[in-house]
Chain A
């Protein structure tokens, strides 16, 4: 990471955000641990280890925050400088859409469009290549799993697959 974008006490300090998220998680874990009962040292309860792990999380997150404030850190934006940030974002959107569609549509109906989208989005593959791959790869795997390994993939509301 290049140094010219280093900032200290600014909201765009990327390390600060990482530390704050860690601190929040740690606080939540401590709270959950206490809710689950700590028990005694003779007979530690369900929340015993969670509670102390939560404290450790806060300590480490605190260390990250301190070093973010004293040493400075690259800005959030600089982490995505000079990269095609839109690509992973599109991919994430595709994956989320896929997970929404998987159960109602079933494996075949959701994974073929996903493959087609991925093949065209990352760096467009020719349609003449993309379509056969998008259709054949999921169908082939589905067949192998269903026929040879007896594993049933989700078939969805329409019962295809």
Chain B
């Protein structure tokens, strides 16, 4: 990549020289000696943000240093990791949540990062429960109503997603393709914004992870379907994609990574701390509020998983005709 040109090499050499002069191991041994920044590439207040805050809080107790959450939203959750890949030093003090869009977007358009090379994958944590909601005042009572309306008015049904190229966007397009309807996507920056958009009926539907839960519980939003394999225990009356005749399951798993070239000792420390965190009953309880289930994978398995996901995503994107030209 041209951006990592001479300057990077010069820096790397300088680091190596300085490292030789002043004991190398010191930084990895003492790690962490200052607060760690965890980039959450979603706006504050969405389900990812809140669950990551709970996980980070628990992990910081293990690490003995506070973990500061930095919300860098946008680009369907890629702005944060892209910024980290481009600008952060691999010292373990900047890590990022890695949503699935980090692997998917490079297949769809020119991007500034390479998911296979620019990250040091640390640990896989959990996945989401996705669902499609509409305002309680809406004319749509079931998903069938939406399909019928969309057949009569192609392109008139609008849905809010937390960003172009997110699982929600891809999933909705797949659903639309299978039902032979046309829907219009409106990309927002995350759960807090899509909640407001569908509540105010600015968009007809909202496709998002469980940030809608308090509003659904309060009867302000109506949940039309969930994208999990089995029905959600919290909403036993809401059908899954499979039951509606779409043979798919979408859970958009996610984990944590640092910039490339992270010291394996630091990776191990972070891995252990976050593993303890996802096992912490308080964290499990917070995750359960959003219908998220811990889905632990260690560093090695996570790396393999990235390769698999990239492959399966490539197929979907190509079928939908969204692949980059």
A–B proximity contact (CB within 8 A)? yes
Residues of A within 8 A of B66 (CB): 150
Is there an interface contact between A150 and B34, defined as CB atoms closer than 8 Å?
Answer: yes
Judge whether A132 is part of the interface by a CB distance below 8 angstroms: no
Is there an interface contact between B34 and A159, defined as CB atoms closer than 8 Å?
Answer: no
Is there an interface contact between B35 and A150, defined as CB atoms closer than 8 Å?
Answer: yes
Residues of B within 8 A of A99 (CB): none
Judge whether B22 is part of the interface by a CB distance below 8 angstroms: yes
Residues of A within 8 A of B35 (CB): 150
Q: How many pairs of A and B residues are in contact by the CB < 8 Å rule?
A: 7
**Binding site of B, secondary structure by majority: helix, strand, loop or mixed?**
loop
Judge whether A157 is part of the interface by a CB distance below 8 angstroms: yes
Size of B's binding interface in residues, CB under 8 A: 6
Q: Can you list 7 A-B pairs, Cβ within 8 angstroms, ordered by A?
A: A150-B34, A150-B35, A150-B66, A152-B34, A157-B14, A157-B18, A159-B22
- Near B by CB (< 8 A), chain A positions 65-89 give none
- Near B by CB (< 8 A), chain A positions 14-33 give none
CA–CA, A145 and B151, complex, Å: 61
Residues of B within 8 A of A157 (CB): 14, 18
CA–CA, A157 and B18, complex, Å: 7
**Interface membership of chain A positions 128-161, coded 1 if the CB is closer than 8 angstroms to chain B and 0 otherwise:** 0000000000000000000000101000010100
- Near A by CB (< 8 A), chain B positions 62-113 give 66
- Near A by CB (< 8 A), chain B positions 146-176 give none
CA–CA, A159 and B14, complex, Å: 14
CA–CA, A159 and B18, complex, Å: 10
- Near A by CB (< 8 A), chain B positions 1-59 give 14, 18, 22, 34-35
Residues of A within 8 A of B34 (CB): 150, 152
Residue of A whose beta carbon sits closest to that of B155? A42
B325 → chain A closest CB, angstroms: 13
A109 → chain B closest CB, angstroms: 15
CA–CA, A157 and B22, complex, Å: 10
Residues of A within 8 A of B14 (CB): 157
CA–CA, A150 and B33, complex, Å: 10
CA–CA, A1 and B201, complex, Å: 55
CA–CA, A46 and B152, complex, Å: 32
- Near A by CB (< 8 A), chain B positions 228-255 give none
Residue of B whose beta carbon sits closest to that of A146? B34
CA–CA, A157 and B66, complex, Å: 26
- Near B by CB (< 8 A), chain A positions 103-143 give none
Residues of B within 8 A of A150 (CB): 34-35, 66
